[in-house]
Structure 1
Amino acid sequence: MEEESINIKKVIILVGAYCAYMLGSGFSTGQEVLQFFTSSGATKGIISSIIFMAFMMIFCYALYGVGQKMQFEDPYDVFEYYCGKYIGKIYTWYSVVLLYGIYVTMLAGGGATIHQYYGAPTSIATCIMALVSLATAILGVEKLIDIIGVIGPIKILFMIIIGVAAFITLAGNPNLYSGNSAFILTTASGVKTASGNWLWSGVLYAFLGLMFGVSFYVINGQSAGSVKEARLSGMIGTVFYTLAIILLIVAETVYFDVVKGQQVPTLAIAKRITPILGLIFLIIIVLCIYSALSSMILVITRKFAVDKTKKFNFVALGLTLIGMLVGSVLPFDKLVNILYPISGYSGIVFFLFIIYKEFINNNAFPYRKNDKKIVENNGKTI
């Protein structure tokens, strides 16, 4: 049976950690939302984001729950749990490589953000972001969740500020919404699109979220006090994240004149609202990227070593140095346009395995690494 008690403080921390992880450089810079949602036109983009939310709630329900119930020693074991030994191993290593590619993309996003505002060399900015994130990951899982759990709500707050500013601007000029939305759909806008179909973009973005966060969702679920608490935090986090997407779609549409051609659309919007907000938002974006990078390098390295060990520190340092080198030379918007859609497509088959195991045949693909009965925190077997 599942433990029914819920620690509200813990749920808030886990929701914050979810938002901090998801609101990485792709989202916080605005490139992700621009290519997956805003590029379809504002209204269709918003509908597409709601479709994304529905899928992500299913993913979080399953992965947060199984993370709490199974308490995997290696979070990547979730692939074997859902897909069986052989397909699970393929997905495990594919996920590691894919997540590392997204990590490099986020490093490039951090460098592009600081370069756009200060004019500092992209390579130096990328290196600083990488090293600070590495230092945080070395602190371990629990400390990381505590840190980024505080950062997540701050990110949501500033997305709300940008959204409110967009609505105020829209009130003074209602034609901006429809006019810019129509212009975005033309080739003259120059906007890269993740998919040629607005409906599919929302579905694809959900599968990107699945593959991007599988191991982190499991780790987050493990940190909860019960299955119910784990699932609730994942689903609430999805709602807040979707709200941030919708606000950003509106803002990018209303302020498209300043967004066009920018590597970091959100920063351009913030500077248009007021230069002071631009400076503050730069700090927020850097925090977004820092928290996501810290989480990702920890999750990736956990495949090779347990955190808080010398081996973990050595592997994390090596992966960070390689990421710094690659992230300093590749353009951010092109990385997003190539890597993120591929990530989404790769999640489709894995989703089918989740549906089959979770909702159709729970005895499929028996998990062999730990034959002990699952034990809840109150000591009762289930």
Structure 2
Amino acid sequence: MPDRTATRAGLGTTEKTNFLRLATFAGAIIAFLIGSGFATGQEILQYFTSYGYWGVFGTGLLVLALMTYVVIEFFVVGQAKKFEKPSRIFHYYCGRYLGTFFDFFSIVFVFLSFTVMVSGAGAVFEEHYGLSKYLGGIGLALAVGISVWFGLKSLVDVIGKIGPLIVVIAIGLGITGILRNPQGISEGQALLPGLELTQASSSWFMAGLSYVGFCMLWLAAFLTALGKTARSKKEAAAGGAMGAAAFSVACIIVGLGLLANIVKVGGTEIPMLVLARDISPVLASGISVMILAGIYTTAVPLLWTVSSRFFPDSTPRFKYLTIALAALGTVIGLVLPFSQMVNIVYVINGYVGVLLLVLMLVKTGTRLVRREKL
């Protein structure tokens, strides 16, 4: 069962200057991470805001530190080793047997993450537009399936420019939510114990580890292949650090915005739309488009990652598998409510990702002690 990776032409960026290359690398990371969970606010609500100050700042800083390490490590190792198969990154950190386990487990998780994207699109259509969730879910699956059908040429250039824009808008919405009700942050903190909010874990610390864990399983093969296109280790590390830092700061700001309006957003499927609708119905319509764009930019590489694991990009069997997976993902994604999908898929897989994080730290520490060069 061959594993395929995109070539330089497929994942490489065409930007000329170093800064634009760094920005495009960072943008690709952000676009891959935002997805339905971040864009809708549901992910931030469960992993950050629901724990109050400790969740927003404690989880936020933990994610900032660990995510920066993880992204730089994947990028730099990918640039140095230039694995023919990006899934070899798991064998590099975990050895033959555990590496094989993570290789196959990550593919299952990536596919389930695609089903979460379908569920998120359905929730937007149902909660904001008052339309059937099946229309939103099927529509997203068709758009993503068609995109992957034609291959992912210049993937980074396409999604790398959409991602930062979405994050900037999300940050702006979070800041506006804070400024419109600054006293709401302390009020929300006091009200949290009496609210029955869905949480990712029993503590903010474990939620932070789980959050980094599931992001790692998403990013491993993608960043390893992307790092292969970097011109130097320095460029790989800088692009990775920029993307990880920007995403983590965005999580903290959006988390505060949701905390300031916790009574309104608690228990909703799409918290970000609640914030936007409170400002203006017109703005809410615009934000709904932003959320769908965020879901799309994550769903495309997720589906491509699974299909390309079995067949070469753009071959007939790759295309047929893509359509079959898109159809199966649609069925699964529309069975459970979006908030439950996030809580089940992300949290369970996040803890498996924590094991990968531990093994990565051990490998990095051993490499530094022995002063091994990549």
TM-score scaled by length of structure 2: 0.90
1:93 aligns with 2:101: no
CA distance in structure 1 between the aligned counterparts of 2:150 and 2:20, rounded to whole angstroms:
22
1:126 aligns with 2:132: no
1:181 aligns with 2:189: yes
Worse-matched range after superposition: 217-226 or 44-53: 217-226
Q: 1:246 to 1:338 in 2, by over 3 A?
A: same
Deviations 1:211-257 (CA, angstroms, capped at 9, x unpaired): 22212221221232222212211111111101111111111111223
User: The residue matched to 2:161 in structure 1 has which SS?
Assistant: helix
CA distance in structure 2 between the aligned counterparts of 1:315 and 1:151, rounded to whole angstroms:
27
CA distance in structure 1 between the aligned counterparts of 2:86 and 2:261, rounded to whole angstroms:
41
For residues 125-144 of structure 1, what are the structure 2 equivalents within 5 Å?
125-144=136-155
CA distance in structure 2 between the aligned counterparts of 1:358 and 1:178, rounded to whole angstroms:
40
1:30 aligns with 2:41: yes
Worse-matched range after superposition: 132-141 or 295-304: 132-141
Counterpart of 1:200 in structure 2 is 206
Counterpart of 2:71 in structure 1 is 60
Aligned-residue RMSD, C-alpha: 2.0
Paired-residue identity, %: 29
Q: How far 1:43 sits from its partner (Å)?
A: 4.8
- Which ranges of structure 2 fall in alignment gaps of 5 or more residues? 1-15
Deviations 1:162-201 (CA, angstroms, capped at 9, x unpaired): 1221232134xx2x21111221232xx2210111112222
User: The residue matched to 1:212 in structure 2 has which SS?
Assistant: helix
1:292 aligns with 2:298: yes
Counterpart of 2:216 in structure 1 is 210
CA distance in structure 2 between the aligned counterparts of 1:138 and 1:77, rounded to whole angstroms:
25
Deviations 1:19-55 (CA, angstroms, capped at 9, x unpaired): 1110000111111111111010135422211111101
Q: How far 1:351 sits from its partner (Å)?
A: 1.8
Counterpart of 2:334 in structure 1 is 328
CA distance in structure 2 between the aligned counterparts of 1:260 and 1:220, rounded to whole angstroms:
37
CA distance in structure 2 between the aligned counterparts of 1:108 and 1:122, rounded to whole angstroms:
8
1:249 aligns with 2:260: no
User: The residue matched to 1:118 in structure 2 has which SS?
Assistant: coil
Question: 1:136–1:144: 8 Å Cα contact kept in structure 2?
Answer: no
Question: 1:42–1:249: 8 Å Cα contact kept in structure 2?
Answer: no
CA distance in structure 2 between the aligned counterparts of 1:178 and 1:43, rounded to whole angstroms:
13
Counterpart of 1:368 in structure 2 is none
Question: 2:125–2:135: 8 Å Cα contact kept in structure 1?
Answer: no
Worse-matched range after superposition: 293-302 or 350-359: 350-359
Deviations 1:128-164 (CA, angstroms, capped at 9, x unpaired): 1011112222343442211101111111111122122
Of 68, 88, 98, the match for 1:77: 88
Counterpart of 1:8 in structure 2 is 19
Q: 1:129 to 1:363 in 2, by over 3 A?
A: farther
Deviation >6 Å, runs of 4+: none
Q: 1:205 to 1:310 in 2, by over 3 A?
A: same
User: The residue matched to 1:301 in structure 2 has which SS?
Assistant: helix
| Number of equivalenced pairs | 357
Question: 2:200–2:343: 8 Å Cα contact kept in structure 1?
Answer: yes
Counterpart residue identity of residue 101, structure 1: L
TM-score scaled by length of structure 1: 0.88
